Structures are given as structure tokens and as C-alpha cells.
Amino acid sequence: MLKQFYPGRCAASAYGLPYGDFYSRGIRGVIFDIDNTLVPHGAPADDRARALFKELQEMGMNTCLMSNNKEPRVASFAGEVGSGYLFKAGKPRRRGYEEAMKQMGTARQATLFVGDQIFTDIYGANRAGIKSILVKPIDPKEEIQIVLKRIPERMVLWFYKRGRQKEREGNSNI
């Protein structure tokens, strides 16, 4: 039951991921959450975000920012990094993920989602059939509704990590 919330992978940050490796394995589009995935909540794009999107664009990767936030926030950030975007995307509904893939011109198997929340970002990507990476939130200071969601997220992550450990132990007996 909890597997529908499991990320394909966990990482410390969206900035340390091996995007070149993903590209060589056929990934052609990356959908990113913004707040607490790329920058602290409400912050503008910084040099690190601009450099990441420039690197992705230079390797031929398409990008789309996908947020449940309002258009002024999302459009402003997208303009700073030169990316397509979706605002009020309705995560975790599939529709937004499908629209992002349409914007980027990518198929499910060639698309990756990177976000910091299990119940919106990862669950939605999984529902849409997209590979997902859960990153640690950039800033521990969050709105109360997100803080409350982090409590059951910890439980899901505990079971996820426990299952991954059992898989590794099972494979080491071969």
C-alpha cells in the first residue's frame, strides 16, 4: 500500500544529481518542483539554480517547473532560469504531469521528476508513471500544512528505507 508513495530514489539535493548519466540512459526531460526543492520557499532563482538549468539546456535536456503555487511566483522563477512551467498544477493529479511532458515533448519513460514532498510530488509522479527523485527540503522553515505532512512522510520513508535495506541484504546472499 505504501509503495505508491515511494520515490524511485532519494538524494540530498537537486543540485548533486548525475543529470549527464540520466541523459545517457534516455532521460530527455526533467520536471522540477520549485519551493524547497530548488530554493527556499518563496525565494527567487539564485546562481546555483540558473547554472543548473543552463547545464541541463546545454546537454539537450528539456525542463518544466511544476508548482501548485500561483502564476506570478512560478512564471517569475521560470523566467529567471529559462524553463517552461505549470502553475496551480494540481499535484498529485496526473493531469499536470502529463501537461508538463507535453510541453517538453517527452514520453513517460524519458521523463524524470525531482521534488521534496512525498504526498504531492512523488505520489503524483508515480501515478503518472514517471521516474521520481525525492530530495531533502532546502529550508526546514515551512508552512504549517507542509510541516504536518512531514509527520506521515517520515513513516513512509522509514518503510521505504527498510525495504531498500532488505533488498540489499537479499542481493548480497547471491
The Cα angle at residue 80 between residues 92 and 51, in degrees rounded to 5: 95
- Report which of residues 58 and 166 the model is more confident about: 58
Three-class secondary structure assignment of 78-147: HHHHCCEEECCCCCCCHHHHHHHHHHHCCCHHHEEEEECCHHHHHHHHHHHCCEEEEECCCCCCCCHHHH
Average pLDDT for 56-74 = 97
pLDDT value for 174 = 46
pLDDT value for 78 = 98
Total domains present in the chain: 1
Q: Range of 8's domain?
A: 2-172
Here the CATH number for the domain that contains residue 151 is 3.40.50.1000
Average pLDDT for 44-52 = 98
Question: What pTM did the predictor assign?
Answer: 0.87
* Average model confidence (pLDDT) across the chain: 92
What's the pLDDT tens digit per position in 72-109? 999 999 999 999 999 999 999 999 999 999 999 999 99
d(C-alpha 101, C-alpha 155), whole Å: 30
Three-class secondary structure assignment of 23-77: HHCCCCEEEECCECCCECCCCCCCHHHHHHHHHHHHCCCEEEEECCCCHHHHHHH
pLDDT value for 171 = 62
| pLDDT band with cut points at 50, 70 and 90 for residue 128 | very high
